[in-house]
Structure formats: structure tokens, C-alpha cells
A and B are shown apart, each in its own frame.
Chain A
């Protein structure tokens, strides 16, 4: 089976052609860097995404802190991860890299702060 994909790793957006035999990727064409090949293999077998969102901050200079999954998580869990962040409030100060939520939705991946909010 042959699948056509657009690589999402960088804004080049290379058009990829992936050849599969059963669940095994036998060939990736069209990528201009190694990331493209890795993306193609993952995308047709176990697609994953980084999820970014925001949670509320108490006592900070801003209302919201932006957060992200520390690593990519299975694409099918995007809504579960977004849901797990509903109602979460953290206390200022928060700095880039601080853990907001451990092991989100049993993925083994932490939600970390991706911005800074100092104390008010």
C-alpha cells in the first residue's frame, strides 16, 4: 500500500510517499531530512502529536500560563489530554519547564510550563 503524507516537522512541509507492506514501512520518498523519514514511519503506524494549551494561574502577573506535553503523545489522546487540563489552576511563580501535571492520561508524559509567569 502507498500513502501520501505532508510532513509536519517544519514549515517546508515536504510531500512524502510512504510504501507499506502490511504494517511495515518499506520505503519513504520525498523527505529532505531524516526527521521526515521518522515522521512518515510514525504517522502510518502510531501517529503522535505535541499538544499545547493553557491553564489558569493564581497570584501571577498574567491570567494564563501556556503549557505543552514534554514529548509527543498518541494522536488519539489529544482530546483526553486537553480535557485533563480543564480546571487546572497553578500558583505563581511558574517558569519554563516546571511540571504542571505528571504522567498525563497515563501516557507517561508530563505537562510542562512553556512560558514564564512571575509573582504579582
Chain B
């Protein structure tokens, strides 16, 4: 069995940034395992611009952003295996994988970074009534077909769900000559970024119908029409509000789910809110030496933040491998979320093991206008940050300072909550 200091599962933005950071922190014996035929992950099909504003102060396309990280990994001669599928991770950090050249093989790792990303919620998970004809795609599948393989999935399109990929595909399909008739969103607010509503829908006069869902799909061989209806506050369709759209294609952009089959198999504890691993300040799971970052941990809006988070995971994995982290039973302080904050990543912290600053990321459960984000150590208010608008589709973050945490006597909990401004 081959031995590695660090095995990284996934060669997308999270895996690449984690590998580069681990290497720069003194770890040489690294292996990235990627199931696709190239590094870069989902960025390769995200041909729109807007990536990297924070990291590179430029607006890059997805492949351009990916290539910068791929180049950094190649410069550092970080080993990777493509076309390789990880089948299992065991609790003692043995990774079982397979590919065409090596067949099935096992490798032993001192540390593992989970960077498998996420997948789209499928029709089966949405319980949409109607027939099951051809012409129903997840927005990401359509994106891959159009942008990488050069196929148009259809000519007349209805989109269910206003996630960013759906909005981006509304514009993309329009530019390629399709007619996008409507975007229906179950919730009373959009799931995507405001900028995408403007530049992908408003620019092309594509209507967005909030509080609407698909109630029927017609067509036996191919989609012929889709009926949408308004929903009430209980999210149930309101009879009499049905509108029928003839179309040949239905795209689904109804949320992303972290892909954690491998993590679960290894015995990693999951958060029911994020569907990702529960991690501490080092982005380490309940299994010592197993770290997580990127969309496998929680779904991000911005790749820049994925890269930052992954660099933190890589640095902490390096410290773990080098035995630099004292594991002297430091008490884990829980980070609790209240008043509309749905979760935080990380969900606990040990101030002594933190960097000078810890970025805590989270989402809110509803649209909040003119409120404030409040940070408490025990019951003491540390920070009150006014936020004109907060929405579930846009991730929030607060920076916690190590010094403040260490200076709080008898620190037993950290709380983040939404309050009146």
C-alpha cells in the first residue's frame, strides 16, 4: 500500500487551493485524486465572468480562474491522478480508489482533505408531478452540454428555481438562440445573487415569477408544455392560478447538496442544516486528521471564498501532519446561531488553536431588511454590524479575533444572531 502525508479528494477549486496551501506550509508528499479527465472541477463549465474579484482583483471566467490555480499546483509539482474515482475512505484514513491504469488500489494517508464539492437537487428529490419525457435537465447538466460538449438541450425553455446556475443558463440559452419563457421560483425571494437577476434576466426581459412552482409536465416522448401555478405561504399551489407554457425543455435549478457519501462512509458527523461535515476552527471533522473545505462543507456563492477556506484547511492539515498542533484536550467552544442565522461554519472553536483571525461563514433563513448581525462572547456584545439587506441566497461572514476570544474570561459560548439595527 502506498503512503502519503496528505490525500485530497477532489481537484476542483477547493482541492487545488488546499493542496497549494499544504505544499507552501511544508508538506511535499501530497496526492490529489480527481474523477474527471482534467483539474478545475465545475469551474471548467462556468464560462461566465465574475470569478476572482476578491482573489485577483480581476473579473475572470471560470476556466481562467481554474487555470491560475492549476498553474500554481503544476509549478509546485503537486502530484495528482485524473480519471480516478474514490470508492471508500475508512476511519483509519485508508483511501480505496480505482481507475483504468491502476485498477482498484488502496493508499494510506496521514491526513485527508475532503473537497468533493456538491451536486444538484434532482427532479426525483423535488416531487414534480407529470410525465417523465426527455427534455428535463438540471441547469448544471445543460451548462455542461452547451459550454463543454457543444450541444443545445432545447429551443423553448422554462426554468424552475432561481439558483445562480439557473439564472446563468437563462442568459446562456438565450444567447445561443433559445427562447427562455419564464423562471419560476417557489420561494417569495430569489435563490440567486441580485447581480444575476439583473444581468441574466432583466437584460433579456425574461420574467421571474416568485412564489410559483411547476404543477404539471406534459409530453410523452419529449416535453411539450409545462404548467406553473402560484403558491401560498404554505408553498402549496393555489387553484385557478395555473399558466401553461409550451416548451421543449425544463431546467431545474433548485439547490445544491454537498456530496458526502464518502464522508458518511468514513464516519464523519454531518450537520443536518448544511448536509456537510461538522467542523471546528481548523475545518477538521470529528475524525482527527480529516478536514473539509469548499462546497462539500457548505454550498458557497463565491469561488473566492472557497479558495480562502480551502487554503485554511490545507494549512491546518499541514500543521497536523507536522505534529505542530498540540492536542491537549482544548475545550471546544460552541458557536450558536439564533434569530434567523441558520448555521455557522465552523460550528465550534478552540481559541488556542486559531489563527489571529477566524472567518465564520453562515446563511440566514429569510430576507431581512435594515437589521444587524450581532456577535456575542458569552453574553457580552462584541460586534454589531448593520446590514441593509440579507437574504438566504447570499452568504454572510464575520471575522473573530483570537485576542478578543482569549481575553474573554470563562468563555463558554459564542453567539451570532440577527437583531434590530
Taking beta carbons and an 8 Å cutoff, which residues of A are in contact with B?
Answer: 5-11, 13, 15, 49-54, 56, 62-64, 66, 68, 75, 78-79, 82, 96, 114-116
Contacts and interface: CB of A to CB of B under 8 A. Distances in A.
Interface string B121-140: 00000000000000000000
Given A82-B175, A115-B61, A10 B53 contact: yes
B47 interface: yes
Interface residues of B, number: 32
A101 to B, nearest CB: 15
B108 to A, nearest CB: 33
A53 B49 contact: no
A66 B150 contact: no
B61 A54 contact: no
A8 B48 CA distance: 13
21 contacts: A8-B198, A9-B195, A10-B195, A11-B301, A13-B193, A13-B194, A13-B195, A15-B388, A50-B59, A63-B149, A64-B149, A66-B61, A68-B49, A78-B203, A79-B175, A96-B64, A114-B49, A114-B60, A115-B61, A115-B64, A115-B67
A34 B49 CA distance: 20
Nearest to A54: B147
* A-B pairs, 10 with minimum CB distance: A13-B194, A115-B63, A66-B47, A8-B195, A114-B61, A82-B175, A13-B195, A63-B150, A6-B194, A10-B53
B408 to A, nearest CB: 31
A54 to B, nearest CB: 6
Contacts of A52: 47-49, 61
A36 to B, nearest CB: 11
B89 to A, nearest CB: 30
A96 B62 CA distance: 12
Nearest to A117: B63
A54 B193 contact: no
Contacts of B64: 96, 114-115
B150 A64 contact: yes
Contacts of B148: 62-64
A9 B50 CA distance: 8
Interface string B142-176: 00001111100000000000000000000000011
Interface in B382-404: 388-389, 394
A3 to B, nearest CB: 13
B197 interface: yes
A50 B49 contact: yes
A54 B317 CA distance: 38
Given A7-B195, A15-B388, 15 more contacts: A9-B53, A11-B394, A13-B198, A49-B199, A50-B49, A52-B49, A62-B148, A64-B147, A68-B49, A75-B203, A96-B64, A96-B67, A114-B60, A115-B47, A115-B61
A66 B147 contact: yes
Given A11-B302, A64-B147, A54 B47 contact: yes
Contacts of B302: 11
Contacts of B147: 54, 64, 66
A117 B266 CA distance: 37
Contacts of B59: 50
Nearest to B195: A8
Nearest to B151: A63
A114 B195 contact: no
A49 B203 contact: yes
A9 B394 CA distance: 15
B61 A56 contact: no
A65 B50 CA distance: 18
B49 A11 contact: no
Contacts of A9: 53, 195
A6 B66 CA distance: 28
Interface in B178-218: 193-195, 197-199, 203
A78 B332 CA distance: 54
Contacts of B44: 115
A75 B50 CA distance: 17
Contacts of A53: 47, 175-176
Contacts of B146: 54
A39 to B, nearest CB: 10
Contacts of A13: 193-195, 198, 394
A96 B61 CA distance: 10
A23 to B, nearest CB: 21
B364 to A, nearest CB: 15
A9 B52 CA distance: 12
Interface in B45-74: 47-50, 53-54, 59-61, 63-64, 67
Contacts of B53: 9-11
Nearest to B54: A10
Contacts of A66: 47, 61, 63, 147
